[in-house]
Amino acid sequence: MTALVDTAPLGETHAPGGTLEAKAISAWFGSNKVLEKVSLTMPANTVTALIGPSGCGKSTFLRILNRMHELIPSAQLNGEVLLDGDDIYASGHRITETRKRVGMVFQKPNPFPAMSLADNVTAGLKLTGTRVSRGDREALIERSLTRAGLWKEVKDRLKEPGAALSGGQQQRLCIARSLAVEPEVLLMDEPCSALDPTSTRRVEETIYEIKDQVTIVIVTHNMQQAARVSQQCAFFLAEMGTPGGIVEAGATEQIFGDPRDPRTEDYVNGRFG
Amino acid sequence: MTVLLEPDQHADPSVVEDRPRGIDPALPKVDRVFHGVARSIGALVLVIMGAIGVFLGYQSIPTFQRYGFGFFTESQWQPEKDLLGISSVLIGTFTVAIVALAIAFPLALATALYISEYAPAKIKSGLVSLIDLMAAIPSIVWGLWGFFLIQPKAIHIAHWLHTHLGWVSFFHVDTDPNASQWAQSRYAASAFIAGIAVAMMVLPMAAAVMRQVFSQAPPGEREAALALGSTKWGMVRTVVIPFGRGGIIGGTMLSMGRALGETIAVVLIISPSFSIKFAPLEVGTETVSALIAGRFGEATSAQLSALLTAGFVLFIITLIINTLAALIVARSRSGALTD
């Protein structure tokens, strides 16, 4: 896309983001259908915001993108999710590999409370059996925490437990932990809903800084946040008694500035939801 | 307004001492009644417990006066020679309990992990009730099971352990393991076989405590591990087991308390022996509760006091272990879940 030469020094390059393509995704919890034939392309190295009122299936859709949906006992789905062209639900695709390539940050910060900050950052490597040398490990910790905008605050207390941080710091620690395994896509499920405005701003800055290296899909209830951080927006809606679906998707400027559907216009202008 | 008052604190609010004021909860009558009933029943349990302790302690006075500290060092229990002591009995008690835990701990841990993490939802509740049912089997049945079904098999295991690991004193048996006709009776009626039966009795409780804490492991942390690309086992190892550590230790210690006091199954299996040795595979041992059960009927009043003293010592040991277990469970993250 860009003609600029990549000037990052060796060892600091990252795998470029991957392209996610959801094709006709439907989802059920038991017999309750919550999503119907949702298709959306999330291009590499862009931030896609999923907006819409509560209960419209945004989070379910997001969890389908890295196979977290199937952890819920009654959950089922149909359709395909292509990561760089390959269906992640195809038989023979290892679930652990998919989740490693498509990371996730949750609504509620969930660091491992008993682990030190440093161990939290490298937890993904340990869990996926990736071995790194001691020096590489330290460099990785610093790089991941820097990318998550947390390094300056915690560099002198890396041995403290994860639970010792404030909520906003914990969430950035979780982002650092996700980035440490070098995912191609990062899914964020309302990452700022439990944070104060300052922490929210820091997380948004982080999103802005990492979007060149990783594709981001973010669910948010905050319209201003969607407008600030995303380049592409998808508006989900589940009307009375029907499963959720995408009403309108497109460039963020268009969704906020010139929406085609009146329901989108009502929602982004705060008239309902 | 102020002219009516003395020039005291009321006149100037800044002088009033700033300390927490009392708050009257003004509970409705129903709440007060329920509160009172619940509290008295709770207190009653403590009173009964305390009364048992006081009774045993009081009954022990003559024994301690007569034998003093020698009661803990004497290994024989021969009232006719005026030799009464519990050193060998205490060792036997702990030997049986340790064997029981060595067998029950891994089984309970694996059972609890399987039920809470791996079992399909359909069979989960069935397995839970099955384990609970195991706790309902009377101990005499476990004793018979150990004596008739397990002992004939277990002596071969004991013989094998002795043959191959006999150089460790723990596995030593005072006979020649390589004799062409090895002495089967030397391996029977041992603490090892009693320990197997006791293990089956404490397993349900240990597994239940562990399963409970495992199932409380925070879903957020579980998802965090899985979303990083962890395998299920990796998630269990980094989230579930560290979270449940308090329950693992506490559940094991609670089982220890139970194993120390188990009587009837042990009486059925062991043959009494009062030597000071730590050889679980060898024939013969004695535990405090088995001693009491065996000697109670023919005891004179002085012997009865000595038996009750042995019971008192066991009571205190069990109380300490259970209290420690409760403290560990309560202090761990799994016990003090406030989130």
- Residues in chain B within 8 Å Cβ distance of A106: 220, 223-224, 227
Between B37 and B183, the more confident residue is B37
Question: Are B230 and A127 in contact (CB < 8 Å)?
Answer: yes
Question: Are A108 and B226 in contact (CB < 8 Å)?
Answer: no
Question: Are A71 and B229 in contact (CB < 8 Å)?
Answer: no
Measured CB to CB, residues of chain B less than 8 Å from chain A are: 121, 218, 220-221, 223-231, 234-235, 238-239, 242, 333
Q: Does domain B33-331 match CATH 1.10.3720.10?
A: yes
Quick one: pLDDT at residue A8?
A: 41
- A191 in contact with B at a CB cutoff of 8 Å? no
Ordered structural domains, chain A, with CATH: 20-110+185-268 (3.40.50.300)
Question: Are A106 and B121 in contact (CB < 8 Å)?
Answer: no
* % of chain B beyond a pLDDT of 70: 94
Quick one: pLDDT at residue B3?
A: 54
| pLDDT (mean) for B307-320 | 94
- Residues in chain B within 8 Å Cβ distance of A123: 225, 228, 238
Question: Are B220 and A128 in contact (CB < 8 Å)?
Answer: no
In the numeric block, which tokens belong to residue A71? 């952890």
Between B42 and B297, the more confident residue is B42
Question: Are B225 and A123 in contact (CB < 8 Å)?
Answer: yes
Could you read off the pLDDT of A31-90 as tens digits, one per residue? Answer: 999 999 999 999 999 999 999 998 889 999 999 999 999 999 899 999 999 999 899 999
Nearest to B146 by CA among B268, B62, B39: B268
Residue type, A235: F
Contact A103, A143 (CB under 8 A): no
B222: closest CA of chain A, how far (Å): 9
Question: Are A112 and B238 in contact (CB < 8 Å)?
Answer: yes
Quick one: pLDDT at residue B4?
A: 54
Contact B173, B158 (CB under 8 A): yes
Could you read off the pLDDT of B11-47 as tens digits, one per residue? Answer: 566 667 788 888 888 889 999 999 999 999 999 999 9
Tell me what ipTM this predicted complex has. 0.88
Name the residue of chain B whose CA is nearest to A115's CA: B238
| pLDDT (mean) for B265-291 | 89
- Residues in chain A within 8 Å Cβ distance of B230: 96, 99, 124, 127-128
The residue ranges of DSSP E strands in chain A, in sequence order, are 20-29, 32-42, 47-51, 75-83, 86-87, 102-105, 185-189, 215-219, 232-237, 245-251
- Residues in chain A within 8 Å Cβ distance of B218: 110
- Residues in chain A within 8 Å Cβ distance of B227: 66, 68, 99, 103-104, 106, 178
Count of other CB atoms within 10 angstroms of residue B121: 8
